[in-house]
Amino acid sequence: MAINPLTREQKLLAEIVVQLGNITEAIQSAAAGEDSSSLNTQIQALQTQLASVANARAELQQQLAEAQTLNADLQTQLANVASARAELQQQLAEAQTLNADLQTQLAAVHEGDITPDNINQVMNTLGIDYDTV
């Protein structure tokens, strides 16, 4: 099993636990009649660290909210890209079908002799009524 390194917040919490131990010792010393200035200093240090942890937590929560917003935006863009891709694939399929139809028509135009042999064929090809006298 891999051991994950401690996060910044976990390190700060560990340090707070150590400080709490120190405070406990100071309280016991104060109860025995020793100087309480050490206890006050340790309490202030602990309060500073707790404020730091709270600030770090708030910052991480803000970053998480921003990341979630970005993720939602990316998901929307991905859906839009997928839709556009499907539309382009449909257009490509239609263009390929049209191309095949045009190539078939082009091949049909070139089949056989396209040069008229006489004036009647010329007039029929042009769609002109022509009465021969």
pLDDT tens, residue by residue, 113-133: 667 778 888 888 888 887 765
> How confident is residue 34, by pLDDT bands cut at 50, 70 and 90?
low
Residues 6 or more apart whose Cβ sits within 8 Å of residue 130: 119, 120, 123, 124
What is the sign, positive or negative, of the torsion defined by CA atoms of 89, 92, 98, 100?
Answer: negative
The whole-model pTM stands at 0.47
Q: How far apart are CA 127 and CA 130, in angstroms?
A: 9
Question: pLDDT digits over 61-81, tens only?
Answer: 999 999 999 999 999 999 999
Mean pLDDT of 93-104: 94
What pLDDT shows up at residue 102?
A: 92
Query: Residue 85's Cα: distance from chain center in Å?
Result: 17
Q: How far apart are CA 58 and CA 53, in angstroms?
A: 9
Question: pLDDT digits over 36-57, tens only?
Answer: 677 678 888 889 888 888 899 8
Share of the chain above pLDDT 70, in %: 89
